[in-house]
Structure 1
Amino acid sequence: MPWQETTPGRYEREFGSIEQFYRQIADAGAVIEKQQFLISCSIKLKESPSVTKLQRSWKALRFLFPQLAAQPDEAGFKLTYTVPSPESITTWMQETFIVDEATNSADNLYASLKPTALFQLYFLPLSREILFRTPHWRIDGTGLQILQNTLLQILADGPPNIVFDGSEITRLAPSLNEAAAVPRESAPHISQAADAELDGFRTGPPSIPIETLPNILPTCPQRYRTMFSADVTQQIISSCKVRGITVTTAAHSALVIAMQSYSQHDCDSSMGGTGGVKYTGITALDLRKYLSAPWNGPQSAVSLYHTGLPFRIDLNKHRDFNAIAADMGATHARNLRHDESRNAVEFLTSYVKKAVGALSATPEEPLKAPAFQTLSSLGVINNNLQSKRNGKASTVEIEDWWLSVEIINRVLGTTLWTWDGQLNLSVSYNGAFFERSFVEKFIDGWGRELTRALGVE
């Protein structure tokens, strides 16, 4: 259902399928004040802006992307946007724009914050960092980069004086279901295609299980990353081009090999592979290129226009890096709109309903719940977020950028991105289930396996 005015100045629409998926996952941790996949993303600036200018820029950003202030109902089925009064704007600013003058690092801050349904911005003057905090059901990684780019351009130009007059409602983003014209009714062939997509998860737990600490309840979210120099990153890119694969495919394939030495299965690590193991997982794929204007461009910032599709690789047949990369590359290269047998856009509604059931089953013994890793590729961040913005009033430059999601289960949420010519390998995890030393060894080993497989020194 598209946005509709229900009373003067009040607009509603249904949650889309992907939004419902992430909302249900987020709500599952509410009883312990945790939120799975809550996004924290830091921008470290070279020079600290004034609080007043940043605050006014945040207000202007809301005018451009009013969905920043949309509110969910308790059931998680509807979003509501109300054209604001001056008083409600003041309240929203107080709730969402927070200046933390005492904390010297976004790293220290994000792990201690309570979850929220709001999209919030924290400013840390001591470290010159802007920390974006949002539930994943509000936005995805690509959209967040676009949003950040717009905010910094507003800051560089000098924030304008904004008057909310209701005209902003034309910029409320539709759900993915509406933007992609997903059929509301699930015909038999659509349901069958969704079943076929999920077949891999019906044969066993996702991924290659990893041993964890014997704790049941999660504690604080943690993150770790390793970076390659610009020179090594360029060598990685060049080697991938020669092999006809993407950096994402290469990194994912190297991750499969690197994690096998930590698997709880019996593994044969000769030839760089394993025996008797099937690698299953989910890969996140951006869907903006399949949408029509304006939702395939910058106007799509505050939206959730991606999906996660499962894959399965038989490591008996695909034992070394090149074989795994060939199979993994086919998964990453799928045309989701024109795949005749499995049009992922067409079966989205049916697929998400089935996926929620398949992925949310509670294990009988929590200590034996499978621990595994997932991988998300954010691509080249500079394609959406420029490191330097020249504006009418000033120049704004970014010194560093990182993103992490809150994990409350036994998942190692691995992520890769390239920022200013440097490839980053990152992981989000929960400190209750993994020792820091193990995580560092695991991610550093992933990096070594990537360079070894590509012949990069």
Structure 2
Amino acid sequence: MGIYKLIRSLLDLIPSLNTSYSKDLKVQPKNDAMVLPSNLTTREHSSFSRHVGTLEDLFNNISEVKGSINREHTSFFVVLQLHFPPTKANVEEFIARAWESLGQRYPALRAQISPPSKFDSRKQSSISVQPWDAAKFRTSFTTHPNCPNVDVLFSAPSPKRTTATCHWLPNPGQVVIRTAHWRSDGYGLVLLADSFLSALADELQQCSSAPLGNNGSKQLLAVPESLESLVRKYLPAPLPEEKAEIDEMVETFAKGHQSIGFPTRSNASTTTPSICQRAAIRLTVEDSAKLISGCQTQGISVTSAVNAAVIRTAAQFPQDPGADAYAIFAPVNFRMLLMAAGAQECSQPTGNYVSGASLRIDNAVGKSFRELANELNTIYSQDFTRYERPGGGKTLNLLQSTESYIQFIAKLFALFPSPGCPFPKAPVISSFGKMDMIVKSEYGGDSDDTTGASKLRVTDFWVSCDCATPMITFNPYSWGGAFTLSSAWEDSYYEREFVIDALEKTMAELVEGLEIDPLSYRITTGCNDASTRK
């Protein structure tokens, strides 16, 4: 299934798009073979440049933390645990060639941001791509013979790179793909993982000495336009009064009560972000089904249930004076809505199309799991083209007004000291959903293979992020029918034992709130981690 068809199939599954608004949008016909307009394709020997979008600039700025050197903050990565056909040797070369094919096809993987000119106000920040240079891009692929896992991999100095990177860890048999957030959102990175696995399967079926080719079904794609540019291109401009409503909503949201959160280390106020750590709770397929069934019984989404449990867990800890609400900018994936409007550009993995919707729950500390989950479910199930302002009132089209909305958020973030964030300790939930629909367990294979031995197999999958703010990021998702609740945090602000304790407390809140039998789980710190089950 091609990426365009895949995203369209996901689009059909989203209830919030079954509205009169989305029905009125000009939707491109479903076609297995995506035919791209000429402005979406490029030539491998051509260069490219455009202005940086406001959202891209925001994520690029917050990845640069004052006083923190040799570290690229605000990035996403995927870990793919692979099993190669037994007849294939020197898999490192196959991996490198597959990565090279992606760098050639998706120029945004090697795009760079140039800062604005200090001497000419007309020269703004820009994104540029140089003509394809295979040897230069090859340096973005690295083999780490003695590296046991991704934590060790990213514990070393990691300065900002001019490209996305691919890493091969032969001992655990893992491929790690990492990119700055401004180049791609988390959902796009998962799409990129699928593209990589397809390319790797193709390479395994070809002779390793064959030249790297590019056929008509894999056109070289241009750097995608920014979120704001696509909105201007495919949607009518918001009315002046709608822009004023957006500004008022964000301003009111930002000036509300402090948000509850998890308490940081005692020296957090004077420390500088260093490295990001991660851990996760992973359920069996059977217990994952129990969790989903419990959510369905209560009529809530898994994301709403997990978020409610996280809030209940955070509320158990001492809070700052005046902190009684829960407030975050909840990640919202606009890819689907833009696809409904006809933006085929969103079908490629690169591009950042995730903004943040202002989410506030007042008196969160005193609310039950059921109250929190129902309130969150109402918010998350909204059609973001008719987003109800917190506290009621008029509904707003967040997609149509996204440019002014993001501009206001960027100004808001700039008011806070590095690594600027309005609600620094509030835990954020960023749900990926069912990853089985994108990353498959098998790729390629010979047509006459009846045993499946020639297939490339994915035996485990992990997606996470690097962050610089004093918040814990939770990423719930499922793959292979098994539910994972991963967490990422900055080591300067939280101890590993504290976060693992918070994860276990969250699971306890889930079980109690959903009124289901206790769930068996593993606490893992990486892909294919065989930790003790609890």
In structure 1, what residue type is equivalent to 2:282?
M
Kindly report which structure 2 residues correspond to 1:40-439, keeping only aligned pairs within 5 A, or say none.
Answer: 40-47=77-84, 50-75=91-116, 77-84=125-132, 88-94=133-139, 96-117=140-161, 118-158=163-203, 161-163=211-213, 168=219, 170-181=221-232, 187-208=240-261, 210-215=263-268, 216-265=271-320, 277-292=324-339, 295=343, 299-315=347-363, 319-339=367-387, 341-362=395-416, 370-392=424-446, 394-439=454-499
Structure 2 regions of 5+ residues with no counterpart?
A: 1-38, 117-123, 388-393, 448-453, 518-534
Segment drifting more, 433-442 vs 392-401: 392-401
Cα deviation for residue 276 of structure 1 reads: 7.5
* Structure 1 Cα separation of the partners of residues 355 and 181 of structure 2: 12
* Structure 2 Cα separation of the partners of residues 136 and 350 of structure 1: 21
2:36 aligned residue: none
Cα deviation for residue 34 of structure 1 reads: 3.0
Deviations 1:246-294 (A, max 9, x none): 101111111111111113258xxxxxxxx97111112111111111377
Cα deviation for residue 407 of structure 1 reads: 2.5
In structure 1, what residue type is equivalent to 2:370?
N
Query: Residue 263 and residue 183 in structure 1: after superposition, are their counterparts in 2 closer, same or farther (change >3 A)?
Result: farther
Cα deviation for residue 446 of structure 1 reads: 0.6
Cα deviation for residue 238 of structure 1 reads: 1.0
* Structure 2 Cα separation of the partners of residues 206 and 361 of structure 1: 17
Query: Residue 433 and residue 132 in structure 1: after superposition, are their counterparts in 2 closer, same or farther (change >3 A)?
Result: same
Deviations 1:307-336 (A, max 9, x none): 111211122697111111111112211211
Counterpart secondary structure, 2:224: coil
Query: Residue 264 and residue 276 in structure 1: after superposition, are their counterparts in 2 closer, same or farther (change >3 A)?
Result: closer
2:6 aligned residue: none
Q: Does structure 1 conserve the Cα–Cα contact (< 8 Å) formed by 2:63 and 2:468?
A: no
Are positions 1:453 and 2:506 aligned together?
no
2:22 aligned residue: none
Query: Residue 420 and residue 433 in structure 1: after superposition, are their counterparts in 2 closer, same or farther (change >3 A)?
Result: same
Q: Does structure 1 conserve the Cα–Cα contact (< 8 Å) formed by 2:84 and 2:455?
A: no
Query: Residue 292 and residue 219 in structure 1: after superposition, are their counterparts in 2 closer, same or farther (change >3 A)?
Result: closer
Cα deviation for residue 172 of structure 1 reads: 3.2
In structure 1, what residue type is equivalent to 2:468?
I
Query: Residue 55 and residue 209 in structure 1: after superposition, are their counterparts in 2 closer, same or farther (change >3 A)?
Result: closer
Q: Does structure 1 conserve the Cα–Cα contact (< 8 Å) formed by 2:188 and 2:350?
A: yes
- Identical aligned residues as a percent: 20
Q: Does structure 1 conserve the Cα–Cα contact (< 8 Å) formed by 2:231 and 2:402?
A: no
* Structure 1 Cα separation of the partners of residues 409 and 143 of structure 2: 39
Deviations 1:379-403 (A, max 9, x none): 1111111122234484111222222
Query: Residue 39 and residue 411 in structure 1: after superposition, are their counterparts in 2 closer, same or farther (change >3 A)?
Result: same
Normalised TM-score (structure 2) = 0.75
Q: Does structure 2 conserve the Cα–Cα contact (< 8 Å) formed by 1:376 and 1:415?
A: yes
* Structure 2 Cα separation of the partners of residues 254 and 418 of structure 1: 18
* Structure 1 Cα separation of the partners of residues 382 and 360 of structure 2: 14
* Structure 2 Cα separation of the partners of residues 136 and 19 of structure 1: 8
* Structure 1 Cα separation of the partners of residues 164 and 248 of structure 2: 34
Query: Residue 363 and residue 92 in structure 1: after superposition, are their counterparts in 2 closer, same or farther (change >3 A)?
Result: closer
Segment drifting more, 132-141 vs 333-342: 333-342
Query: Residue 186 and residue 175 in structure 1: after superposition, are their counterparts in 2 closer, same or farther (change >3 A)?
Result: farther
Q: Does structure 2 conserve the Cα–Cα contact (< 8 Å) formed by 1:213 and 1:432?
A: no
Cα deviation for residue 162 of structure 1 reads: 3.3
Deviations 1:382-433 (A, max 9, x none): 1111122234484111222222322223111122111211111121112222
Deviations 1:8-32 (A, max 9, x none): 8222222223212211111234753
* Structure 2 Cα separation of the partners of residues 39 and 63 of structure 1: 21
* Structure 2 Cα separation of the partners of residues 320 and 175 of structure 1: 40
Query: Residue 282 and residue 403 in structure 1: after superposition, are their counterparts in 2 closer, same or farther (change >3 A)?
Result: same
Query: Residue 318 and residue 325 in structure 1: after superposition, are their counterparts in 2 closer, same or farther (change >3 A)?
Result: farther
Structure 1 regions of 5+ residues with no counterpart?
A: 267-274
* Structure 2 Cα separation of the partners of residues 83 and 241 of structure 1: 51
Cα deviation for residue 165 of structure 1 reads: 11
* Structure 1 Cα separation of the partners of residues 277 and 223 of structure 2: 33
> RMSD over aligned Cα, in angstroms?
3.1
Q: Does structure 1 conserve the Cα–Cα contact (< 8 Å) formed by 2:74 and 2:180?
A: yes
* Structure 2 Cα separation of the partners of residues 456 and 351 of structure 1: 40
Query: Residue 183 and residue 97 in structure 1: after superposition, are their counterparts in 2 closer, same or farther (change >3 A)?
Result: farther
Q: Does structure 2 conserve the Cα–Cα contact (< 8 Å) formed by 1:232 and 1:456?
A: no
* Structure 2 Cα separation of the partners of residues 122 and 211 of structure 1: 32
In structure 2, what residue type is equivalent to 1:174?
E
Counterpart secondary structure, 2:469: coil
* Structure 2 Cα separation of the partners of residues 304 and 232 of structure 1: 34
* Structure 1 Cα separation of the partners of residues 53 and 424 of structure 2: 29
Counterpart secondary structure, 2:61: helix
In structure 2, what residue type is equivalent to 1:162?
L
Deviations 1:37-96 (A, max 9, x none): 222321111338711111111122223322212222134832112332xxx2211112x1
Deviations 1:220-241 (A, max 9, x none): 2111111122111101111111
Counterpart secondary structure, 2:382: coil
Q: Does structure 2 conserve the Cα–Cα contact (< 8 Å) formed by 1:209 and 1:370?
A: no
Counterpart secondary structure, 1:372: coil
Q: Does structure 2 conserve the Cα–Cα contact (< 8 Å) formed by 1:318 and 1:324?
A: no
Cα deviation for residue 198 of structure 1 reads: 4.5
Counterpart secondary structure, 1:377: coil
Counterpart secondary structure, 2:513: helix
